[in-house]
Structure 1
Amino acid sequence: MLAPFTRGATPREARRIGMEVEVQGVDPETGHRLPFDGPRGIERVLHRLAARGGWEPVCEGDRLVALARAGATITLEPGGQVELSTAPRATLGELAADHRGFVAELDAVAGELGVQWTCLGAHPLDTPAEVAWVPKGRYALLSRHLAATGELGHWMMKLTSGLQVALDYADEAECFDLVRTAQAVTPVVGALAANAPFVAGGPAPVACWRRHVWRETDPARCGLLAGPHEDPAYGFADYARYAAGLPMPFRLRGGVWLDPGGRTFAELLARGEATAADWELHLTSVFTEVRLKHFVEVRGCDHPGVGRVEALAALWVGLLYDETARRAAWRLAGARSAAELEELDRRAIAEGLAARAHGTTVGELARALVRLAAEGLTRLGEDPTRLEPLARLADAGRNPAAEVRAACADRDGRLDVAAWLAYERRAWRRYLEG
């Protein structure tokens, strides 16, 4: 059970950066999400991307559900969100090139099909009932599981979009140093990147709606891990025990998705019914804000807007890969108990940058973290100016949600759909032409 974690140990000189980023396709007139089927559906988008060359199709049954190319994938989230998972890269410049290429390919397909791409942390108009499921067996079983574990699981599955960064670790000790520090600053970085100001056409009830949705999805497998903050010796075996104690939402046998009937991985293992492949698959159903596979995955941020994706990835790299910045970030935001971190996280989700934290505000902490990340990037030989889109927001005490709200709310504070679609088009074009 420890093998996925131990094989992830990577010498510092060989460590890489990975990124996952999700966008949502909409009708450019109404703003409603694209269906899976049909002449302007998400499956057609994948077919067009494949036809442009280089991408290999991945099907489930007779449906096209993913693409693969040179270590990268384009996959579909349950509601048809289109996700790029980059190949592991040595530099932020390579990662940025991957993202820019992805956006350019999506832009070309949008022009061919007459669709539009949007980049918020959650769709601002639709509800789960209005969004079609992607026909994947994994999602059918996960939707059933999450319907019983929290109030907002289907909102998460169908309507949210995030940005995740994958980081290597040298050994077990560094792995959990990364985990602790990333969790400690997640309330702050999550508030700085928050980008979901509207829900079902009205104002969001909390500052960080996407993160609130995740907390109301499946509390046992979501949120912040308490263990690393309670036990300085927390390690791979402790994480494995935690994950093994979670119910398995799905299993895969001979290409068929099966329901484990609510049993935990540990229960199936004791019955002799669990395999190494089951364990690797099960680890993908742990949805904590920082999770462990053969790398550390930092998951607590909304899609910050197309022009800020690379800045947010740079922030995590500068804070976590540079040891001096990592220690300073921990001193600034992390030297607290698990209970105190949990309380801070709840305040940050509710109040955003205005929340009080450690004698100051989350907004002030965000400014300080951006400065630390810039110093870290410089020491790593990376370009600290990559942070500028986030630094401008932090210096102004704003986040992407505040900008979207200012540009796209009507007099009653509700979503002006035409203004929002125009805002997204401008941001998309600025990025491509920048």
Structure 2
Amino acid sequence: MSIPQSGGGPIERPAQLAEYLADGCKPKQDWRIGTEHEKFGFCRDTQNPIPYDGDRSVKAVLEGLRDRFAWQPVEEAGHIIGLQKDGANVSLEPGGQLELSGAPLETIHQTCDEVNEHLRQVREVADIIGVDFIGLGAAPIWTHEDMPVMPKGRYRLMTDYMDRVGSLGKTMMYRTCTVQVNLDFGSEADMVQKMRVAVALQPVATALFANSPFIDGAPNGHKSWRSRVWRDLDADRTGMIPFIFDDGFGFEQWVDYALDVPMYFVYRDGVYHDALGQSFRDFLKGELPALPGEIPTLSDWADHLTTIFPEARVKKFIEMRGADGGPWRRLCALPAFWVGLMYDQGALDAAWDLCRGFDTETREEMRVQASVRGLDAVVGGYKMIDLAREVLAISEAGLTARAMPGAGGLVPNETHFLNALKDSIETGMVPADELLDKFKGEWAGDLSRIYAEYSY
């Protein structure tokens, strides 16, 4: 999750809220790719999650990255809670999941190099202290009580609120991981088309990247339990946001939606002030109970936008949020998948033609069935594997048209980053299927073997 936002003076006109989003519009030559991924850390000998403090801990990993690789620390109340360097940052999820939020880069080659270098650095530090990391969509064995709690005021407030609005919010916070990509838009119309494609086809990404078939030490009946969790978290801030498909959707309509999402907090001078359930509309009028008489700043608005969790969301860019965390090879496949669909106009148009006929009920049922059955899902006559095959072909065509070379020109484009997804289409198996086969077969029900075989 995001670190506190900064910059921006007081909001003097309501129109500034939409203008803030519109300021994200960029010419195509300036579009960039920001890849984020989360992973669970655990003690190599005990297979227990690493705590925040101690010799083998989240803090030790952050300090190791700081000291060995010149990352700059981010602190809150005297605790190191993140790192920054060259436009990227390393941050902590509530249960100690380590997240890389990559710098905005031009090509998948660059973003994959960044991911590889980050994991190499983490591996070097982790080896010294006896820690491993694993890429999964949900913690397979650890209970909620097993998970550590990170010293971040934002997470304390969110934890207190989650049980009021859903049954699985704390599971999301402490026991799930994702990989996502952040992409730019050129205009309001471009944002609208990209958001519609992103939301309508997010279930395809969920199915292809499904990697969380276990919870509490046993199969949970879903290929992506992480996706299932998001369906019972907080209806005010999650879901398939059907209004984006209405005529007239644009930045102002996103602002109206965001203003109706209850607040979590206001960040002031290193302190998170409890604004749980309060209204940003009241804040604009100086009537926020948490800070009576105060007017919000643009950084408050930016913070509030980070507390909205639909399947895709708008800030000054678009975030694709539907995929489980996964193995090293698939961390580069997710940005390749979406860049191929979004950064070539012919591919974007083809993707929209493919999904523009889905109605609200079809999109929602695809979301549900993708989490349950992955590529085996069938919704309203659509077979997920066939839909995924078509979407992947469009993405590949988009990457081919982009013609972004790598390896000093030896690799002509970015299409090879889709190979892991092509394998899934050819075999009909996503990572969750492989895990379930191992659990039922060679592991003979011993789920503890997942740590040694799938850590990186």
TM class by shorter chain equals over 0.9
Equivalent residue for 1:255?
270
Instruction: Compute the displacement of 1:39 (Å).
Output: 0.8
Paired residue secondary structure (2:165) = coil
Describe how 1:21-420 pairs up with structure 2 within 5 A: 21-229=37-245, 231-270=246-285, 271=287, 273-275=294-296, 276-381=298-403, 382-409=413-440, 414-417=445-448, 419-420=449-450
Determine helix, strand or coil for the equivalent of 1:52: helix
Segments of 4+ moved more than 3 angstroms: 408-415
Q: What CA deviation, in whole Å up to 9, does each residue of 1:146-194 have, x standing for no partner?
A: 1211101111001111011000000001001110001111111111100
For residues 414 and 326 of structure 1, the distance between their equivalents in structure 2, rounded to whole angstroms, comes to: 44
Q: Secondary structure at the match of 1:324?
A: helix
Question: Which stretches in structure 1 are left out of the alignment for 5+ residues?
Answer: 429-434
1:232: how far off?
Answer: 2.7
1:107 CA drift (Å): 0.7
- Displacement after TM superposition at 1:415 (Å): 4.7
Does the CA contact (< 8 Å) of 2:181 and 2:334 recur in 1?
Answer: no
1:286 partner letter: I
- How far apart are 1:363 and its partner, in Å? 1.4
Q: Which amino acid aligns with 1:423?
A: E
Letter of the 1:268 counterpart? F
Cα distance in 2 for residues equivalent to 1:59 and 1:349: 36
Cα shift readout 1:371-394 (whole Å, capped 9, x = no counterpart): 111111000113211110111012
- Indicate yes or no: 2:46 matched with 1:16: no
Q: Which amino acid aligns with 2:138?
A: A
Separation (CA, whole Å) in 2 of partners of 1:123 and 1:317: 29
Which range moves more in the overlay, 354-363 or 104-113? Answer: 354-363
The amino acid that maps onto 1:288 is: P
Q: Give me the whole-angstrom Cα distance separating, in 2, the residues matched to 1:22 and 1:102.
A: 12
Q: Tell me the SS of whatever aligns to 2:332.
A: helix
Higher mean C-alpha deviation, range 386-395 or range 340-349: 340-349
Per-residue deviation, 1:410:
6.1
SS of residue paired to 1:379 = helix
Code of the aligned partner of 2:258: A
Q: How big is the shift at 1:409?
A: 4.3
With the length of structure 2 as denominator, give the TM-score of the two structures. Answer: 0.90
The SS at the match of 2:69 is coil
User: 3-state SS of the aligned residue for 1:157?
Assistant: helix
Alpha-carbon distance in structure 1 between the residues aligned to 2:81 and 2:239: 28
Q: Deviations over 1:210-241 (max 9, x none)?
A: 01111111111012111112x13201000101
In the alignment, residue 29 of structure 1 is paired with which amino acid?
Answer: D
CA-CA distance at 1:82 after TM superposition = 0.4
One-letter amino acid of the counterpart of residue 148, structure 1: R
Tell me the number of residue pairs that the alignment of Structure 1 and Structure 2 aligns.
424
C-alpha distance in 1, partners of 2:370/2:210? 10
Counterpart-to-counterpart distance in 1, 2:365 and 2:451:
36
TM-score by length of 1: 0.94
CA distance in 1, matches of 2:87, 2:372: 38
Distance 1:148 1:284 in 2: 20
C-alpha contact 2:223 2:372 (8 A) present in aligned 1 = yes
Following TM superposition, by how much is the alpha carbon of 1:344 offset from its aligned partner in structure 2, in angstroms? Answer: 2.2
370-379 vs 405-414, which deviates more?
Answer: 405-414
| Alignment partners' CA distance in 2, 1:113 and 1:274 | 47
Q: How far does residue 273 in structure 1 lie from its aligned partner after superposition?
A: 3.6
Gaps of 5+ in 2: 1-16, 288-292, 404-412
Partner of 2:113, secondary structure, is helix
8 Å Cα contact 2:341/2:351 also seen in 1 = yes
CA distance in 2, matches of 1:414, 1:332: 41
Identity, in percent, stands at 35
The corresponding residue for 2:5 is none
**Does the 8 Å CA contact 1:18/1:166 hold for their aligned counterparts?**
yes
CA shift for structure 1 position 304: 2.7
CA deviations on 1:105-162 (whole Å, 9 max, x unpaired) are 0110111010111001111011211101101001101111212111011110011110
Kept in 2, the 8 Å contact 1:290–1:298? The answer is: yes
Contact in 2 for aligned 1:77/1:83 (Cα 8 Å): yes
Cα shift at 1:411 = 8.0
Write the letter of the residue equivalent to 1:182.
A
Verify the 8 A CA contact 2:210 2:371 in the aligned structure 1: no
Cα separation, 2, equivalents of 1:412 and 1:387: 29
1:394-425 Cα offsets, whole Å, 9 max, x none, are 211111111122224468974520x2122214
Aligned equivalents of 2:35, 2:241: Cα separation in 1: 21
CA deviation after TM superposition for structure 1 residue 59, in Å: 0.8
Contact 1:198 1:414 in 2 (8 A): no
Q: Shift of the alpha carbon at 1:53?
A: 2.6
